[in-house]
Amino acid sequence: MDIGGTNVRVARVARDGRLSHHLKARTDSTPGIVELVRDLCLQLLDEEVEAVGIGIPGRLDRDGQTILSAGYVDLAGQRLGEVISKALGRPVTLANDAHMALVAELELGAAMAADNVVMFTVGTGIGGAVAVERRVLRGRGNAGQLGHLSLDPAGPPCNCGRRGCSEVLASGTALTHLIEEAGLRPGTTAETLLERWPHDEIGGAVLRRWAGAWRDAIDTAVAVLDPDLVVLGGGLGAATAAALESCCPNTSPWFECPVVPARLGDDAGVVGAGLRAFTA
């Protein structure tokens, strides 16, 4: 399962990463996210299911069970793994959703040939994960909070308590705000802006501002971690990669690093959660 700010995705995952019986529901489709998670899992449960892996959009305690925060999804204080394990009668593994996505991309996706990888997941918010020598770092439990790189100390407030984090300047939510501020038509998307690039002056300014925030975030991560590869996943990963290439490419040898979209796309979080459950 992959719990996102907009959708919750769940599927049966085989040991080789193959997906079947894929389900999706809006995150806000029921009053309780825990009940939604349980009910979706129960729909796919049978005797073949060995374990459950769940990617959550936030931070976990050292024990890997207590959720400390979950960004746009309020799960703080929940011991979600215990609740779902009791309901399903199966062991449950929790990890940050970007951590799960990077596990999948290392094993089956864009990072299969890389050793040191930085991954951003781009959607309602921004997640992050880091692999060194193909091992996804946990630190004290929450390494890789790349949505909270400080890009502008005087910028908009972030849920984390600071201002100008990458999450408030470069996420899908941030792009929606930029589109609204520019007076563009409701429903305008990153893909729409890219289709019109570079001929639409107003849309182009929005795209440059959004991609510029991404350039700052990626260059900062590259300066600190010097990875072989930066992978952009989540629902807006491919559009983000295209925006960077089109209007804000790297121009400094200090920050040279390939930037590619996740090969598994939106499925990376679900696949990684399944693979992680098998090895927990």
Per domain, the residue ranges of the chain are: 2-99+267-279, 114-262
pLDDT at res. 91: 96
The answer to whether 2-99+267-279 and 114-262 have equal CATH topology is yes
Q: Is 179 left (phi over 0), alpha (psi -120 to 50) or beta?
A: alpha
pLDDT at res. 129: 97
pLDDT in tens, 2-23: 998 889 999 999 999 999 999 9
**Neighbour order of strands in the sheet with 259-261:** 135-136, 126-132, 117-122, 229-233, 259-261
Instruction: Per residue of the chain (280 residues), give pLDDT as tens.
Output: 999 888 999 999 999 999 999 999 998 866 688 999 999 999 999 999 999 999 998 888 877 778 887 666 778 888 899 999 999 999 999 999 999 999 999 999 999 999 999 999 999 899 999 999 999 998 888 899 999 999 999 999 998 899 999 999 999 999 999 999 999 999 999 999 999 999 999 999 999 999 999 999 999 999 999 999 999 999 999 999 999 999 999 999 999 999 999 999 889 999 999 999 999 8
pLDDT at res. 51: 97
pLDDT at res. 70: 61
Rounded to an integer, what distance in angstroms lies between the CA atom of residue 255 and that of residue 219?
6
pLDDT at res. 185: 93
Residue 94's H or E segment, with its range, is: strand 92-96
**Helical pair 268-279 and 97-108, crossing angle rounded to 10 deg:** 90
pLDDT at res. 151: 96
The CATH class for the domain spanning 2-99+267-279 reads: alpha beta
Q: Select from 246, 235, 97, 265 the least CA-distant residue to 175.
A: 235
pLDDT at res. 280: 84
CA angle 264, 215, 248 (to 5 degrees): 95
Q: Give the single-character DSSP code of 159.
A: T
The fold adopted by the segment(s) 114-262 is: Nucleotidyltransferase; domain 5 (3.30.420)
pLDDT at res. 57: 85
Residue 75's H or E segment, with its range, is: none
pLDDT at res. 206: 97
pLDDT in tens, 16-53: 999 999 999 998 866 688 999 999 999 999 999 999 99
Whether the pTM exceeds 0.85: the reply is yes
Amino acid (one-letter) located at 156:
P
